[in-house]
């Protein structure tokens, strides 16, 4: 079964997989908003993805 | 009559007590907060085992291994211990001209101060104790730091969080891995995927910054995701291991004065050395964790050592060849380990 890389909460979906969907008009925020997450999960994923991007650019 | 004096003045009294630094107590070893095992020189084999059973329809026929379904599993993981030391030379010649000179014995050879030994040198052992207490809960060797940095982060269970990678990167480089580091990365053959890699711990998703306002909600997230088996393990109740600062946040949260602050999420019993703080019936142990919190059956967290009392054993003696210095040395051998990993909840992992 293929992974839904647009849902970072799905087991086996890495942040790299999820961020590969950020292109064109799609942003991290727009992708996360589509998942209708609760506030804590939305903020946690935003922080996680920022941490990931910062670590990756080091 | 005039009094004529020259040569400067000096204080004629001194405060007898020499204020000593405050050292964090080594609760983990002293109180046995986790499973402490000793007698290992360089490495130890850790065994884990399990059995799974499946029922089948009743039959009067002989037991058939082809249809029977009882599986017995055992595995072994070798855990290497690491030796390290604290050492230096003491030259007390610089203490001449100070209050410590008074306790030096007569004779030019004698420059060791008894008072200095009693008041200052005595602090080496608690300083080492504080260091080891910190290392048990916060630290990683350079190799493990690199391995954890190389893991692929994700939000789901079975992936390390980017936040955990950031916390490990910020840990001090130590000679043995702390418990959070071992939970995150180990080579246990008892894992679902045996061998070196991410641990089988349970991650707490959707976490937020822990403050006095959020600590109740954050502990609730950790409690909610922990397996019921762990929560209901009454023969050895699971406990929470939390950063030292959580003690303050918990009390601030419990004692908040506001119209809406009517929930006391934490139970605080006793005070001082007899104080016990618990959450939903699970004791909280305050240790030098940084960012992480662990909810586990205590004996699943292990400290392995050659001799635990090595932490406070100092050898002091004269340096060879007539040198008027003394050496001071402490040597230890340790490692941390975890078993039953799938039942360990790592907040921040």
The pair of three-digit structure tokens given for residue B82, joined into one six-digit string = 């690491």
pLDDT at A56 over 90: no
Helix (H) or strand (E) holding B133: helix B124-137
Q: Does B158 touch chain A (CB under 8 A)?
A: yes
Chain A residues closer than 8 Å to B349 by CB: none
Per the DSSP assignment, residues forming a β-bridge with B198 are B185
pLDDT of residue B305: 97
Nearest Cα of chain A lies from the Cα of B349 at a distance, in angstroms, of: 12
| Contact: B154, A51; criterion CB under 8 Å | no
Q: Is B16 exposed, middle or buried (0-12, 13-18, 19+ CB in 10 A)?
A: exposed
Mean pLDDT of B25-38: 93
- Who among A13, A47, A51 is closest to B154 (CB)? A13
Q: Is B63 helix (H, G, I), strand (E, B) or coil?
A: coil
pLDDT of residue B21: 86
Which of B154, B163, B224 to mutate: most A Cβ within 10 Å? Answer: B154
Q: What percent of chain B has pLDDT over 90?
A: 87
Q: Is B265 helix (H, G, I), strand (E, B) or coil?
A: coil
Mean pLDDT of B99-126: 95
pLDDT of residue B157: 96
pLDDT of residue B294: 98
| Contact: B163, A13; criterion CB under 8 Å | no
Nearest Cα of chain B lies from the Cα of A24 at a distance, in angstroms, of: 23
pLDDT of residue A1: 63
DSSP letter at B226?
Answer: S
Chain A residues closer than 8 Å to B207 by CB: 40, 44
Cβ(B200)–Cβ(B192) below 8 Å: yes
Chain A residues closer than 8 Å to B162 by CB: 15, 48-49, 51-52, 55
Mean pLDDT of B183-207: 97
Mean pLDDT computed over every residue of chain B? 95
Q: What is the dihedral of CA B205, B208, B213, B215, to 10 degrees?
A: 50
Cβ(B26)–Cβ(B132) below 8 Å: yes
Mean pLDDT of B162-172: 97
| pLDDT range class, residue B162, cuts 50, 70, 90 | very high
Q: How many CB atoms lie within 10 A of CB B206?
A: 19
- Who among B153, B166, B205 is closest to A44 (CB)? B205
| Contact: A41, B205; criterion CB under 8 Å | yes
B337 closest CA partner among B136, B83, B92: B136
Mean pLDDT of B111-134: 95
Chain B residues closer than 8 Å to A3 by CB: none
Q: Which residues lie below 8 Å from residue B294, measured CB to CB, with a gap of 6+? A: B179, B180, B183, B240, B241, B301, B344, B345, B346, B347
Mean pLDDT of B199-219: 96
Cβ(B89)–Cβ(B327) below 8 Å: yes
pLDDT of residue B260: 65
pLDDT at B259 over 80: no
Chain B, nearest residue to A11 by Cα: B156
Q: Which residues lie below 8 Å from residue B265, measured CB to CB, with a gap of 6+? A: B215, B216, B219, B220, B253, B254, B279
Q: What percent of chain B has pLDDT over 70?
A: 99
pLDDT at B169 over 70: yes
Question: Which one is predicted more confidently, B260 or B147?
Answer: B147
B308 closest CA partner among B31, B24, B76: B31
pLDDT at B283 over 90: yes
Helix (H) or strand (E) holding B205: none
Lowest-confidence region among B62-71, B153-162, B292-301: B62-71
Q: Which residues lie below 8 Å from residue B245, measured CB to CB, with a gap of 6+? A: none
| pLDDT range class, residue B290, cuts 50, 70, 90 | very high
Query: What is the separation of C-alpha B328 from the centre of its chain, rounded to a whole number of angstroms?
Result: 25
Cα angle B156, B302, B187 (rounded to 5 degrees) comes to 50
| Contact: A8, B154; criterion CB under 8 Å | yes
Distance CA B132, CA B66 (A): 53
The pair of three-digit structure tokens given for residue B199, joined into one six-digit string = 């641990």
pLDDT of residue B62: 87
Q: Is B186 helix (H, G, I), strand (E, B) or coil?
A: strand
The pTM (predicted TM-score) of the whole model is: 0.93
| pLDDT range class, residue A9, cuts 50, 70, 90 | very high
Q: How many CB atoms lie within 10 A of CB B136?
A: 27
| pLDDT range class, residue B80, cuts 50, 70, 90 | very high
Distance CA B287, CA B139 (A): 13
pLDDT at B257 over 90: no
Q: How many CB atoms lie within 10 A of CB B39?
A: 10
Q: Does B78 touch chain A (CB under 8 A)?
A: no
| Contact: A12, B163; criterion CB under 8 Å | no
Q: Does B299 touch chain A (CB under 8 A)?
A: no
Mean pLDDT of B301-318: 95
Which of B165, B206, B207, B216 to mutate: most A Cβ within 10 Å? Answer: B206
| pLDDT range class, residue B99, cuts 50, 70, 90 | very high
pLDDT at B237 over 80: yes
| pLDDT range class, residue B261, cuts 50, 70, 90 | low
Distance CA B165, CA A8 (A): 17
- Who among A40, A43, A51 is closest to B162 (CB)? A51
pLDDT tens, B42-69? 999 999 999 999 988 888 988 888 777 8
Mean pLDDT of B94-108: 96
Residues within 8 A of B (CB atoms), A 1-58 only: 8-18, 38, 40-41, 43-45, 47-49, 51-52, 55
pLDDT of residue B262: 64
Distance CA B136, CA B335 (A): 9
Distance CA B159, CA A11 (A): 8
Q: Is B175 exposed, middle or buried (0-12, 13-18, 19+ CB in 10 A)?
A: middle
Q: Is B223 helix (H, G, I), strand (E, B) or coil?
A: helix
Cβ(B144)–Cβ(B152) below 8 Å: no
């Amino acid at each position: 079964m293929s992974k839904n890389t647009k849902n970072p909460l799905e087991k086996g979906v890495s942040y790299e997989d999820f961020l590969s969907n950020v292109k064109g008009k799609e942003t991290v925020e727009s992708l996360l908003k589509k998942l209708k997450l609760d506030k804590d999960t939305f903020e946690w994923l935003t922080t996680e993805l920022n941490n990931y991007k910062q670590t990756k650019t080091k | 009559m005039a009094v004529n004096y020259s040569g400067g003045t000096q204080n004629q009294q001194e405060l007898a007590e020499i204020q000593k630094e405050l050292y964090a107590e080594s609760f983990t070893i002293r109180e046995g907060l986790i499973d402490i095992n000793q007698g290992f020189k360089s490495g130890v084999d850790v065994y884990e085992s399990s059995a799974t059973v499946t029922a089948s329809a009743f039959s009067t026929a002989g037991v058939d291994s082809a249809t029977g379904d009882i599986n017995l599993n055992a595995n072994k993981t070798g855990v290497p211990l690491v030796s390290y030391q604290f050492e230096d030379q003491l030259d007390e010649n610089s203490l001449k001209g100070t209050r410590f000179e008074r306790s030096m014995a007569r004779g030019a050879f004698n420059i060791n101060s008894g008072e200095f030994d009693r008041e200052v040198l005595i602090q080496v052992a608690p300083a080492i104790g504080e260091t080891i207490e910190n290392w048990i809960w916060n630290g990683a060797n350079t190799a493990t730091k690199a391995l954890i940095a190389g893991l692929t982060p994700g939000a789901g269970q079975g992936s390390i969080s980017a936040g955990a990678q950031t916390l490990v990167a910020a840990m001090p480089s130590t000679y043995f891995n702390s418990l959070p580091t071992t939970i995150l990365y180990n080579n246990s053959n008892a894992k679902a995927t045996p061998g070196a890699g991410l641990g089988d711990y349970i991650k707490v998703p959707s976490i937020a910054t822990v403050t006095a306002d959020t600590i109740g909600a954050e502990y609730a997230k950790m409690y909610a995701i922990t397996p019921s088996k762990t929560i209901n393990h009454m023969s050895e109740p699971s406990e929470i291991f939390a950063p030292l600062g959580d003690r303050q946040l918990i009390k601030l949260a419990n004692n908040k004065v506001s119209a809406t602050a009517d929930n006391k999420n934490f139970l605080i019993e006793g005070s001082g050395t007899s104080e016990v703080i618990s959450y939903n019936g699970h004791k909280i142990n305050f240790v030098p964790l940084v960012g992480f919190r662990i909810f586990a059956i205590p004996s699943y967290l292990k400290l392995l050592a050659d001799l635990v009392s090595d932490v406070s054993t100092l050898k002091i003696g004269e340096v060879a060849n007539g040198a008027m210095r003394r050496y001071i040395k402490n040597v230890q051998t340790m490692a941390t380990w975890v078993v039953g990993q799938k039942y360990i909840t790592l907040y921040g992992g």
